[in-house]
Structure 1
Amino acid sequence: MDVSSMREAGLVRRFGAVPAGLLLALFFALPLGALVVSAGADHGSAFMRLAQDPLVISAFGHSLALALGAGTVSLAIGLPLAMVLAAQSPERRRWLLAMLGVPLAFSGLVIAYGFILAFGRAGFVTSLLAHIGADPASVGSLIYTTAGLVMAYAYYLIPRVALMLFPAIANLDRRPLEAALTLGASPLRALIDVSLRELWPSIAAAWCLVTSIALGTYGTALALAGTQINILPLLMYLKLSDGQTDFPLAAALSLVLTAGCTCVLALGECLARQRRN
Structure 2
Amino acid sequence: MTGSRGRLGALPLLAFFAVVFGVPAIALVAGAFTAQGELSLANMSRSLQGGYLTAMIGSVRLSAVVALLGAVLGTLLAQAVVTSRATWLRESVLTASGVLANFGGVPLAFFWIATLGNSGVISGLVGLPSGALYTFWGLVVVYLYFSIPLMVLVMAPALDGLRPQWREAAASSGATAWHYWRFVALPVLTPAMLGGVVLLFGSAFSAYATANAMVGTVVPLVTLKIASALTGDVLVGYENVALALSLDMVLVAGLVMAVYLPLQKRSSRWLR
Quickly name the TM-score band, shorter chain normalised: 0.7 to 0.9
Residue of 106, 113, 136 corresponding to 1:146: 136
1:85-234 matches, cutoff 5 A: 85-88=81-84, 89-130=86-127, 136=128, 138=129, 140-234=130-224
Q: 1:133 corresponds to which residue?
A: none
User: Partners in 2 of 1:16 and 1:225 — Cα distance?
Assistant: 48
Which secondary structure state, in structure 2, belongs to the residue aligned with residue 194 of structure 1?
Answer: helix
| Equivalenced residues, count | 262
Q: Which moved more, 1:60-69 or 1:42-51?
A: 42-51
Q: Structure 2 unaligned runs (5+)?
A: none
Matched, 1:54 2:54: no
The residue aligned with 1:240 is: 230
**Deviation string for 1:77-98 (max 9, x for gaps)?**
1101221232245554333221
Give distance in 1, aligned partners of 2:93 and 2:180.
Answer: 27
Deviating beyond 3 angstroms after TM superposition, the runs of 4 or more aligned structure 1 residues are: 88-92, 242-247
**Distance of 1:118 and 1:15 partners within structure 2:** 55
Give the CA RMSD over aligned residues: 2.2
1:35 aligns with 2:28: yes
1:264 maps to: 256
Residues 193/148 of structure 1: CA separation in 2 closer, same or farther (3 Å cut): same
Letter in 2 for 1:24: F
Counterpart AA for 1:50: S
* Percent of residue pairs identical: 27
Work out whether residues 212 and 264 of structure 1, in 8 Å CA contact, stay in contact via their aligned partners in 2.
Answer: no
**8 Å Cα contact 1:177-1:191 kept in structure 2:** no
DSSP 3-state at the match of 1:17: helix
- Give the whole-Å Cα distance in 1 for the aligned partners of 2:225 and 2:88: 46
- Shift in CA distance, 142/17, structure 1 to aligned 2, threshold 3 Å: farther
Structure 1 unaligned residues grouped into runs of 5+: 1-5, 131-135
For the 8 Å contact 1:109–1:223, the answer to whether it is kept is yes
**Greater helix fraction, Structure 1 or Structure 2:** 1
CA contact (8 A) 2:29 2:247 kept: yes
CA shift at 1:209, angstroms?
1.4
Distance 1:142 1:72 in 2: 21
